[in-house]
Amino acid sequence: MAKIYSKIIGTGKYLPEIIKSNKDFLYSEFYETYDKKMDSPNEEIIQKFQEITGIKERRYADPSISNSDMAFMAAQKALEDSKIDPETLDYIIVGHNFGDVRFGRHADMMPAIASRVKEKLQINNPWCVAYDVPFGCPGWVQGMIQADYYIKSGDAKRILVIGSENLSKTVDPHDRDGMIFADGAGATVLEGVESDEPIGILAHITRTDTTKEAFYIYNDKSFNPNYNADNFVVKMLGRKVYEYALVNVPDLAKRAIDKAGVDISEIKKVLIHQANEKMDEAIIKRLFKLYKIREVPEGIMPMTIGWLGNSSVATIPTMLDLIIKGEMENHEFKIGDHVVFTSVGAGMHINAIVYKF
Protein backbone atom coordinates (compact mmCIF):
# COMPACT_ATOMS: atom_id res chain seq x y z
CA MET A 1 0.00 0.00 0.00
CA ALA A 2 1.36 3.39 -0.99
CA LYS A 3 2.42 5.82 1.74
CA ILE A 4 3.57 9.44 1.79
CA TYR A 5 7.31 9.95 2.25
CA SER A 6 9.42 13.09 2.52
CA LYS A 7 11.86 13.18 -0.40
CA ILE A 8 14.65 15.66 -1.16
CA ILE A 9 13.99 17.14 -4.61
CA GLY A 10 16.53 19.97 -4.59
CA THR A 11 19.66 21.12 -2.77
CA GLY A 12 21.81 24.24 -2.74
CA LYS A 13 24.62 25.87 -0.81
CA TYR A 14 26.54 29.06 -0.26
CA LEU A 15 30.24 28.79 0.56
CA PRO A 16 31.84 32.16 1.40
CA GLU A 17 34.78 33.21 -0.75
CA ILE A 18 37.10 34.39 2.06
CA ILE A 19 39.47 31.56 2.97
CA LYS A 20 41.11 31.94 6.38
CA SER A 21 43.97 29.51 6.95
CA ASN A 22 45.53 28.54 10.27
CA LYS A 23 48.50 30.75 9.43
CA ASP A 24 46.21 33.76 9.75
CA PHE A 25 46.07 33.14 13.51
CA LEU A 26 49.83 33.20 14.09
CA TYR A 27 49.69 36.69 15.54
CA SER A 28 46.55 36.21 17.62
CA GLU A 29 46.65 36.77 21.38
CA PHE A 30 45.24 33.59 22.93
CA TYR A 31 43.96 33.23 26.47
CA GLU A 32 43.65 29.93 28.37
CA THR A 33 40.77 31.14 30.52
CA TYR A 34 39.37 34.49 31.58
CA ASP A 35 42.25 36.93 32.17
CA LYS A 36 44.91 34.21 31.77
CA LYS A 37 47.08 34.22 28.63
CA MET A 38 48.39 31.00 27.12
CA ASP A 39 52.09 30.35 27.68
CA SER A 40 52.79 28.27 24.56
CA PRO A 41 53.89 29.92 21.31
CA ASN A 42 51.15 30.32 18.71
CA GLU A 43 52.87 27.94 16.29
CA GLU A 44 52.50 25.16 18.87
CA ILE A 45 48.92 26.11 19.79
CA ILE A 46 47.84 26.09 16.15
CA GLN A 47 49.66 22.85 15.34
CA LYS A 48 47.96 21.02 18.22
CA PHE A 49 44.63 22.52 17.20
CA GLN A 50 45.03 21.20 13.64
CA GLU A 51 46.06 17.73 14.82
CA ILE A 52 42.94 17.43 16.99
CA THR A 53 40.30 19.08 14.82
CA GLY A 54 41.66 18.38 11.33
CA ILE A 55 40.97 21.99 10.37
CA LYS A 56 43.50 23.62 8.06
CA GLU A 57 41.29 26.43 6.79
CA ARG A 58 37.75 27.73 7.03
CA ARG A 59 35.41 30.06 5.12
CA TYR A 60 34.35 33.50 6.37
CA ALA A 61 31.61 35.60 4.82
CA ASP A 62 32.43 39.13 3.76
CA PRO A 63 31.34 41.53 6.55
CA SER A 64 28.79 43.03 4.15
CA ILE A 65 27.02 39.66 3.79
CA SER A 66 24.49 38.78 6.49
CA ASN A 67 23.35 35.37 7.64
CA SER A 68 20.00 35.86 5.91
CA ASP A 69 21.88 36.72 2.69
CA MET A 70 23.72 33.40 2.82
CA ALA A 71 20.51 31.53 3.63
CA PHE A 72 18.77 33.23 0.71
CA MET A 73 21.53 32.37 -1.77
CA ALA A 74 21.53 28.71 -0.72
CA ALA A 75 17.72 28.68 -0.91
CA GLN A 76 17.75 30.13 -4.42
CA LYS A 77 20.01 27.35 -5.64
CA ALA A 78 17.94 24.65 -3.95
CA LEU A 79 14.74 25.99 -5.50
CA GLU A 80 16.36 26.20 -8.94
CA ASP A 81 17.55 22.62 -8.49
CA SER A 82 14.06 21.46 -7.49
CA LYS A 83 12.43 23.19 -10.49
CA ILE A 84 9.35 24.08 -8.45
CA ASP A 85 7.48 27.36 -8.17
CA PRO A 86 8.54 28.96 -4.83
CA GLU A 87 4.93 30.08 -4.36
CA THR A 88 4.00 26.42 -3.84
CA LEU A 89 6.10 26.14 -0.67
CA ASP A 90 4.10 25.48 2.49
CA TYR A 91 6.90 26.19 4.95
CA ILE A 92 10.34 27.76 5.12
CA ILE A 93 12.30 26.52 8.14
CA VAL A 94 15.72 27.97 8.96
CA GLY A 95 18.13 26.52 11.51
CA HIS A 96 20.59 29.05 12.96
CA ASN A 97 21.70 30.43 16.33
CA PHE A 98 22.52 34.14 16.18
CA GLY A 99 20.29 35.79 13.60
CA ASP A 100 21.97 38.27 11.27
CA VAL A 101 24.61 39.40 13.84
CA ARG A 102 24.68 43.10 13.09
CA PHE A 103 24.85 46.37 14.99
CA GLY A 104 28.12 45.83 16.85
CA ARG A 105 28.17 42.02 16.74
CA HIS A 106 24.88 41.71 18.62
CA ALA A 107 22.38 39.03 17.59
CA ASP A 108 19.64 40.41 15.32
CA MET A 109 16.82 37.87 15.67
CA MET A 110 13.76 39.85 14.60
CA PRO A 111 12.23 39.34 12.14
CA ALA A 112 13.07 35.65 11.83
CA ILE A 113 15.74 34.67 9.31
CA ALA A 114 13.09 32.55 7.59
CA SER A 115 10.87 35.63 7.17
CA ARG A 116 13.81 37.55 5.72
CA VAL A 117 14.52 34.70 3.30
CA LYS A 118 10.86 34.58 2.23
CA GLU A 119 10.98 38.33 1.59
CA LYS A 120 14.23 38.06 -0.41
CA LEU A 121 12.69 35.23 -2.47
CA GLN A 122 9.69 37.54 -3.10
CA ILE A 123 7.19 34.83 -2.17
CA ASN A 124 3.72 36.38 -1.90
CA ASN A 125 1.82 33.29 -0.72
CA PRO A 126 0.66 34.12 2.87
CA TRP A 127 0.15 30.40 3.57
CA CYS A 128 3.87 29.78 3.20
CA VAL A 129 4.78 29.84 6.89
CA ALA A 130 8.33 30.98 7.70
CA TYR A 131 9.98 30.35 11.06
CA ASP A 132 13.34 29.64 12.69
CA VAL A 133 14.78 26.74 14.66
CA PRO A 134 17.49 27.97 17.08
CA PHE A 135 18.58 24.46 18.01
CA GLY A 136 22.37 24.60 18.11
CA CYS A 137 24.39 22.75 15.47
CA PRO A 138 21.64 20.10 14.98
CA GLY A 139 19.26 22.86 13.74
CA TRP A 140 19.10 21.82 10.07
CA VAL A 141 18.55 18.15 10.96
CA GLN A 142 15.80 19.18 13.37
CA GLY A 143 14.23 21.37 10.70
CA MET A 144 14.16 18.34 8.39
CA ILE A 145 12.54 16.29 11.14
CA GLN A 146 9.83 18.92 11.68
CA ALA A 147 9.27 19.13 7.92
CA ASP A 148 8.82 15.36 7.80
CA TYR A 149 6.11 15.57 10.48
CA TYR A 150 4.26 18.26 8.51
CA ILE A 151 4.42 16.30 5.27
CA LYS A 152 3.40 12.96 6.73
CA SER A 153 0.53 14.55 8.65
CA GLY A 154 -0.86 15.93 5.40
CA ASP A 155 -0.32 19.54 6.52
CA ALA A 156 2.25 20.28 3.83
CA LYS A 157 3.43 19.17 0.40
CA ARG A 158 6.65 21.15 -0.10
CA ILE A 159 9.03 22.59 2.47
CA LEU A 160 12.29 24.50 2.20
CA VAL A 161 14.74 23.71 5.03
CA ILE A 162 17.89 25.83 5.44
CA GLY A 163 20.88 25.68 7.76
CA SER A 164 22.84 28.94 7.79
CA GLU A 165 25.34 30.46 10.20
CA ASN A 166 27.65 33.47 10.35
CA LEU A 167 29.90 32.35 13.21
CA SER A 168 32.89 34.50 12.19
CA LYS A 169 31.01 37.44 13.74
CA THR A 170 30.35 35.64 17.04
CA VAL A 171 33.69 34.00 17.92
CA ASP A 172 36.14 35.11 20.58
CA PRO A 173 39.37 35.93 18.70
CA HIS A 174 41.28 35.33 21.94
CA ASP A 175 39.98 31.79 22.43
CA ARG A 176 41.73 28.98 20.48
CA ASP A 177 38.34 27.24 20.14
CA GLY A 178 37.31 30.21 18.04
CA MET A 179 39.45 28.81 15.23
CA ILE A 180 36.96 25.95 14.86
CA PHE A 181 34.08 28.06 13.61
CA ALA A 182 33.19 29.14 10.09
CA ASP A 183 30.39 30.51 7.91
CA GLY A 184 28.16 28.93 5.29
CA ALA A 185 24.66 27.90 4.29
CA GLY A 186 22.97 24.80 2.89
CA ALA A 187 19.38 24.30 1.78
CA THR A 188 17.08 21.44 0.79
CA VAL A 189 13.60 21.24 -0.68
CA LEU A 190 11.48 18.38 0.67
CA GLU A 191 8.40 17.15 -1.13
CA GLY A 192 5.77 14.63 -0.10
CA VAL A 193 5.70 11.74 -2.57
CA GLU A 194 3.52 8.66 -2.68
CA SER A 195 5.42 5.39 -2.90
CA ASP A 196 4.78 1.69 -2.45
CA GLU A 197 8.39 1.24 -1.36
CA PRO A 198 10.05 3.16 1.51
CA ILE A 199 11.92 6.22 0.20
CA GLY A 200 13.20 9.52 1.54
CA ILE A 201 13.08 10.00 5.31
CA LEU A 202 12.55 6.59 6.91
CA ALA A 203 13.10 7.36 10.59
CA HIS A 204 14.47 9.96 12.96
CA ILE A 205 15.27 10.46 16.65
CA THR A 206 16.14 13.48 18.81
CA ARG A 207 17.27 13.79 22.42
CA THR A 208 18.09 16.69 24.74
CA ASP A 209 20.27 16.49 27.87
CA THR A 210 20.27 19.43 30.29
CA THR A 211 20.89 18.04 33.79
CA LYS A 212 24.61 18.78 33.57
CA GLU A 213 25.01 19.44 29.88
CA ALA A 214 22.88 22.52 29.09
CA PHE A 215 25.78 24.97 29.29
CA TYR A 216 28.56 22.95 27.65
CA ILE A 217 28.23 25.48 24.80
CA TYR A 218 27.12 28.98 25.82
CA ASN A 219 27.52 32.72 25.32
CA ASP A 220 29.73 34.84 27.55
CA LYS A 221 32.32 37.59 27.44
CA SER A 222 35.71 37.21 25.77
CA PHE A 223 38.61 35.61 27.61
CA ASN A 224 40.40 38.92 27.02
CA PRO A 225 38.95 41.44 29.52
CA ASN A 226 39.87 44.31 27.19
CA TYR A 227 38.00 42.96 24.16
CA ASN A 228 34.46 44.27 23.55
CA ALA A 229 33.28 43.62 27.08
CA ASP A 230 29.66 44.43 26.18
CA ASN A 231 29.39 41.72 23.53
CA PHE A 232 28.78 38.04 24.14
CA VAL A 233 30.76 35.47 22.15
CA VAL A 234 30.59 31.69 21.68
CA LYS A 235 32.25 29.71 24.47
CA MET A 236 32.59 25.95 24.73
CA LEU A 237 33.69 23.36 27.26
CA GLY A 238 35.49 21.39 24.57
CA ARG A 239 36.39 18.32 26.61
CA LYS A 240 32.85 18.01 28.00
CA VAL A 241 31.33 18.27 24.52
CA TYR A 242 33.78 15.66 23.21
CA GLU A 243 32.97 13.19 25.98
CA TYR A 244 29.22 13.77 25.71
CA ALA A 245 29.25 13.22 21.94
CA LEU A 246 31.32 10.03 22.12
CA VAL A 247 28.99 8.48 24.67
CA ASN A 248 25.65 9.50 23.18
CA VAL A 249 25.85 10.08 19.40
CA PRO A 250 26.67 6.45 18.42
CA ASP A 251 23.79 5.13 20.53
CA LEU A 252 21.29 7.60 19.09
CA ALA A 253 22.40 6.93 15.51
CA LYS A 254 22.00 3.18 16.13
CA ARG A 255 18.51 3.72 17.51
CA ALA A 256 17.55 5.63 14.37
CA ILE A 257 18.97 2.91 12.09
CA ASP A 258 17.18 0.19 14.04
CA LYS A 259 13.95 2.22 14.05
CA ALA A 260 14.16 2.43 10.25
CA GLY A 261 14.47 -1.36 10.07
CA VAL A 262 17.71 -1.05 8.12
CA ASP A 263 20.74 -3.31 8.58
CA ILE A 264 24.00 -1.49 9.30
CA SER A 265 25.47 -3.12 6.17
CA GLU A 266 22.94 -1.15 4.09
CA ILE A 267 24.19 2.23 5.35
CA LYS A 268 26.35 3.67 2.57
CA LYS A 269 27.16 7.08 4.06
CA VAL A 270 27.05 8.75 7.46
CA LEU A 271 26.96 12.53 7.16
CA ILE A 272 27.90 13.72 10.61
CA HIS A 273 28.09 17.31 11.82
CA GLN A 274 31.60 18.60 11.13
CA ALA A 275 32.66 19.59 14.64
CA ASN A 276 35.99 17.90 15.17
CA GLU A 277 37.76 15.34 12.96
CA LYS A 278 39.04 13.11 15.77
CA MET A 279 35.67 13.22 17.52
CA ASP A 280 33.79 12.26 14.35
CA GLU A 281 36.21 9.42 13.64
CA ALA A 282 35.74 8.11 17.19
CA ILE A 283 31.94 8.38 16.87
CA ILE A 284 31.79 6.36 13.65
CA LYS A 285 34.06 3.67 15.14
CA ARG A 286 31.83 3.42 18.21
CA LEU A 287 28.70 3.22 16.05
CA PHE A 288 30.01 0.18 14.18
CA LYS A 289 31.34 -1.30 17.40
CA LEU A 290 27.76 -1.28 18.71
CA TYR A 291 27.00 -3.68 15.85
CA LYS A 292 30.10 -5.72 16.76
CA ILE A 293 31.91 -4.55 13.62
CA ARG A 294 35.54 -3.60 14.18
CA GLU A 295 36.43 -2.23 10.74
CA VAL A 296 34.59 0.88 9.57
CA PRO A 297 33.81 0.64 5.83
CA GLU A 298 36.14 2.84 3.80
CA GLY A 299 34.62 6.08 2.55
CA ILE A 300 31.46 5.83 4.63
CA MET A 301 32.04 9.14 6.45
CA PRO A 302 32.72 12.12 4.15
CA MET A 303 34.59 15.00 5.78
CA THR A 304 34.67 18.69 4.86
CA ILE A 305 35.93 20.15 8.13
CA GLY A 306 39.54 20.30 6.92
CA TRP A 307 38.77 23.02 4.38
CA LEU A 308 35.37 24.39 5.44
CA GLY A 309 35.67 24.35 9.24
CA ASN A 310 32.64 24.06 11.50
CA SER A 311 29.76 26.15 10.12
CA SER A 312 27.33 24.75 12.69
CA VAL A 313 23.89 24.06 11.16
CA ALA A 314 25.34 24.38 7.64
CA THR A 315 27.88 21.54 7.75
CA ILE A 316 25.54 18.67 6.83
CA PRO A 317 23.40 20.38 4.15
CA THR A 318 26.47 21.87 2.44
CA MET A 319 28.16 18.45 2.43
CA LEU A 320 24.96 16.89 1.11
CA ASP A 321 24.88 19.35 -1.79
CA LEU A 322 28.59 18.89 -2.53
CA ILE A 323 28.11 15.13 -2.88
CA ILE A 324 24.87 15.36 -4.88
CA LYS A 325 26.49 17.85 -7.27
CA GLY A 326 29.55 15.62 -7.72
CA GLU A 327 31.90 18.09 -6.04
CA MET A 328 33.41 15.69 -3.49
CA GLU A 329 35.88 13.23 -4.95
CA ASN A 330 35.17 9.53 -4.24
CA HIS A 331 31.72 10.27 -2.81
CA GLU A 332 28.32 9.83 -4.44
CA PHE A 333 24.75 8.78 -3.72
CA LYS A 334 23.07 6.05 -5.76
CA ILE A 335 19.39 5.19 -6.01
CA GLY A 336 18.57 2.86 -3.13
CA ASP A 337 21.44 4.06 -0.88
CA HIS A 338 20.65 4.46 2.80
CA VAL A 339 22.29 7.48 4.46
CA VAL A 340 22.40 8.75 8.04
CA PHE A 341 22.42 12.47 8.91
CA THR A 342 23.40 13.05 12.54
CA SER A 343 24.42 16.07 14.59
CA VAL A 344 25.26 17.15 18.12
CA GLY A 345 25.46 20.62 19.61
CA ALA A 346 24.39 23.32 22.01
CA GLY A 347 21.44 22.43 24.16
CA MET A 348 22.78 19.77 24.45
CA HIS A 349 20.92 18.23 21.54
CA ILE A 350 21.56 15.17 19.39
CA ASN A 351 19.49 14.03 16.43
CA ALA A 352 19.65 11.62 13.50
CA ILE A 353 17.75 10.88 10.30
CA VAL A 354 17.87 7.71 8.20
CA TYR A 355 17.27 8.60 4.55
CA LYS A 356 16.89 6.43 1.43
CA PHE A 357 17.74 7.82 -1.99
Residues 6+ apart with CB under 8 A from 231: 104, 105, 106, 221, 222
Q: Kindly report, residue by residue over 199-218, the tens digit of the pLDDT.
A: 999 999 999 999 999 999 88
For the question of whether the overall pTM of this predicted structure is more than 0.85, the answer is yes
Q: Kindly report, residue by residue over 140-163, the tens digit of the pLDDT.
A: 999 999 999 999 999 999 999 999
Q: Kindly report, residue by residue over 157-188, the tens digit of the pLDDT.
A: 999 999 999 999 888 888 888 889 999 999 99
Tell me: pLDDT of 229 over 70: no
Tell me: pLDDT of 110 over 70: yes
How many CB atoms within 10 Å of residue 51? 10
What's the mean per-residue pLDDT of the chain? 93
Q: Kindly report, residue by residue over 265-282, the tens digit of the pLDDT.
A: 999 999 999 999 999 999
Spell out a b/e string for 125-148, using b for 16 or more CB atoms within 10 Å of the CB, else e: eeebbbebbbbbbbbbbbbbbbbb
| E strands, 71-172, in order | 91-95, 129-133, 158-166
Angle between helices 67-82 and 113-120 (to 10 degrees): 60
Task: Name the helix (H) or strand (E) containing 141.
Answer: helix 139-153
Mean pLDDT of 71-85: 97
Confidence label for 103 from pLDDT (cuts 50, 70 and 90): low
Q: Kindly report, residue by residue over 20-76, the tens digit of the pLDDT.
A: 999 999 888 888 878 788 888 888 989 999 998 999 999 999 988 999 999 999 999
Most distant CA pair in the chain: distance in Å? 66
Domains of the chain (ranges plus CATH)? 3-195 (3.40.47.10), 200-356 (3.40.47.10)
Mean pLDDT of 98-114: 78
Cα dist from 207 to 165, 210, 265, 341, whole Å: 22, 10, 25, 15
How high is the pLDDT of residue 104?
55
How high is the pLDDT of residue 2?
87
- Pick the closest to residue 133 from 142, 125, 124 (CA basis): 142
Tell me: pLDDT of 125 over 90: yes
Q: What percent of the chain is helix, strand and coil (3-state, nearest 5)?
A: 35, 30, 35
Tell me if 314 sits within 8 A of 277, measured CB to CB.
no
Q: Kindly report, residue by residue over 331-355, the tens digit of the pLDDT.
A: 999 999 999 999 999 999 999 999 9
